[in-house]
Structure formats: structure tokens, C-alpha cells
Amino acid sequence: MTSSLAFEYLLTPEGLEHGRRLAVDEAGVITAIEPAEAPYDGVFAVPGMPNAHSHAFQRALVGVRDAGDAGSFWTWRDTMYAIAGRITPEQLEIVAGQAFREMLAGGYTSVAEFHYLHHLPDGHKGVEMAQAIISAARTAGIRLTLLPVLYQRGGFERPALKEQRRFIHESVPEYLEFVRMLRERCHLGVAPHSLRAVPFESLRALWEGLARWQGDKPPVHIHISEQRREVEECKQFYGRSPIEALNEEVGLGPEWQLVHATHASTHEIELIRASGANVILCPLTEAQLGDGFFPAAEFFLAGGRFAIGSDSNARIDAVEELRLAEHGQRLRLERRVRLGGPSPATCAWAHAARCGGGALGQRVGTIAAGCHADLVVLDHEAPVFGGLAPDCWLDAWLIGGSAADISHAYVGGVRHERAASPARGAASSRFARVMRELLA
């Protein structure tokens, strides 16, 4: 049975269209976009933002020791390990569920979950932790691409730490068997954690294994060049900076999703752009951890592609991620309007949503026939839009708005409200209980 959704204004690849109706099939896929008149299901709808990089369990770290920690990413990581070492599948499902509900309220309608908490606290190997993520996403109603992470060592010349024992797969065949067990449960990509955690011989073996992947090659996500220390250690170990080394050893291409790339050199930025690889920016987390700013303006103006992610989930708000990305470039270059084109169809939201769809390997991030009906509807009564022509709304939202200006969202044509409900209240209570258990 086909349903329909009608909007007064709809952001499509053609631009901001007036009076449009989406025909949506039983699978939640848009089959046609047609002219429409009132009544409407919303005034102004945009593509739901794909969250291209998330560690859902890190929602449990928000505010933990942050005010008293004058250190760095590496000291924050010690705190993260403490929680990662003891969280159970039941606790993970509750924490992830809280993060996923906040994503739906924050403008994200799909998520790429970079999942490395594989084994149980006692070291038992199985799919229980991954299933907790899958179940949490299903209950929340958010679309999921699960990215099982390959993690093998604790640094370029260091074995894995005892704190990392839950992350480790000893061999690529063992990892690929783990991925195989998950393929019937959800949509998948793959994720070698980083060059410091995965040696090149394993990356090459993984690449060979993916050649036998049935269907389209999955997206491949990797943390890279996030920290200056990581870059310097890579140069010492491999004689090359991380992105240059990755390109020479394996070869970059459109399937590669480079998370952070904060300290990429000018040469590496050109390698990324020329290869068609995607950069995933996580500005709120990068700011919280003191990582630095990727030179996104130069990359974007040269035709580079970027998506956004909530990463540590310290603050889950898609438009705030984009605002910090934009304002960071303005501060770097002392110029205005760095990451968007002159029309709604080429604005920062549309670009990041479209590239986010590629990062998830799903037909999301664009409102078009053949894509999932994943949409965000803006609240036309929000003061930030007051008195403005509709073609100014996305600019106003980027500069002065937030997730609070969202009315509701659709995932596969199913409506999700932002307003609180008794079910969400109960879920929040369960989350608070788990937080007390984890921090005790």
C-alpha cells in the first residue's frame, strides 16, 4: 500500500520546491514526487541528516571528569576505557537507545555506528554487544548502518592494552567471520579502526576479503590524522603521514570514509579530493577533545566531499555540528560563508546530507525517487524563521537555530515526534539508572 506525505516547501536536488507530495511505498521508499496542495504534513521539509560517525556507548561519558581534566584526547581516552571495560549488553542497549532517540530529535534520521565494543566484560566472544546496538536502533526507530571495527594493536609498535581487550580480533579471518554473522541482522559497512590499531598487512587482507563481498562493496570507515601525536608516530613508523601511507599501501577511492583527517597536509587533502573519498567531520567532539580544525573550506571549494557525525555524542544536534564546522572555517580564514553554495540545493545541510548517504552506503540524505523517505520537518513557528522568506530558512537555521527548531521527523515515512512521551520518560529513567551503575 502506497502512502503519501505533502509539504509546502521541499528541499530536493532541484532546489527548494513549492507544493510537493511524496509517494512512499510499503518499504518506506519514495516512488514519486508530485505537485500537491494543502493540507500539508509540514511547511518545510529537508533531507534527514545521516549521522556518519557515532560511538553510541560514549553517550555515557558526557560531563564525566571533563571540568577537572586539563589534559588531552589521550587523558580523556583513559576515562572512556574505564566505562568501556565494564558496560554489559543490557546497559549498552539502554545507553545506545538514549543516544539514538536524541539523534532523532537532533536532526539525524540514520546513523553509522562505529562499533568496537565487541566482547563481553569477561572476554567471551559473540554478537551480544552488536545485537544490543541493533536492538536499540530498531526500538528508537533510527536507520542503522553498523560498522564492526577491526582493532588489533594499541599503537604503531605496541601490543593492545588490557583496557582494549574487548575490542580485539586477533586475525582478519576471525573478524570477517564476525562480520558474516551480522550480515543477516542489519545493514553493514566495515571499519579498520586506525593505522595505529591495524597494521597494513591486515588492511590488505581485509581489502582482499572485501573483494568477495556479495553485492556492492560496503563503505570503509577509518579514524585518521585526528591527533598530531598520531601523525608524528605514523611518520616515524612508516616514513609517511597517515593519509599518504594509506593511499600508497591500499589505495583511496570513493568507498573510503576518512573520519576527522584533522591534520591532513595540503598534499593529502588533494589526494582525498582526487580519489573521491569522503571526509567525516565531527566538530563538536573535535572541539571538546581539542583536536583542531580540518581545512574544510579549501577542501570544499576544490570539490571535496564531507559528511558530519556526532562521534562521542557529547552534544547531539546536527545543525550545531554544521555551525561549528562553518564558523571554525570563518575563524581560520577571517572570511564569511565558507561551506555552502548560493542556493538551498547547495547549502551546507544539503551537501553534508548527500555525502552522509554515501558514508552509510544507503539511499538516504537526498529527497528523490528511489531514496528512503527520511526527512526532517522544520517548525514554521520557530522565532528563528520569523518574517523570513523560505529560501532564507536554512541560512537562518545554520546561523541562529538548533534542534529545538525541528517539528518532527520521518524515517521510512514513519513519523517521529520531538515532544516528550511517557515511553521516553521511562527510557530516560532507565538511562539514569544505568549511568549510576556505570559511574558507581
- Looking at residue 410, its pLDDT comes to 98
d(CA 245, CA 238): 7
Catalytic residues, which ones? Answer: 260, 311
The whole-angstrom distance between residue 373's C-alpha and the CA centroid of its chain comes to 19
Tell me, what's the pLDDT at 420?
A: 58
CA distance 229 to 312: 20
Buried b (16+ CB within 10 A) or exposed e, 69-101: eeeebeebeeebeebbeebbbebbbbbbbbbbb
> Whole-prediction pTM value?
0.96
Residue type present at position 54:
S
The predicted pLDDT at position 243 comes to 98
Please give the domain boundaries of the chain with CATH numbers for all domains: 3-47+364-422 (2.30.40.10), 49-360 (3.20.20.140)
pLDDT for residue 341:
84
- CB of 193 closer than 8 Å to CB of 222: yes
Contact between 15 and 390 (Cβ < 8 Å): no
Which pLDDT value is given to residue 212? 82
Alpha carbon distance 219, 357 (integer Å): 10
Residues of the chain with pLDDT under 50: 67
All cell numbers assigned to 303: 570539490
pLDDT, tens only, 22-47: 999 999 999 999 999 999 999 999 99
What backbone torsions phi and psi does residue 65 show, to the nearest 5 degrees?
65, 5
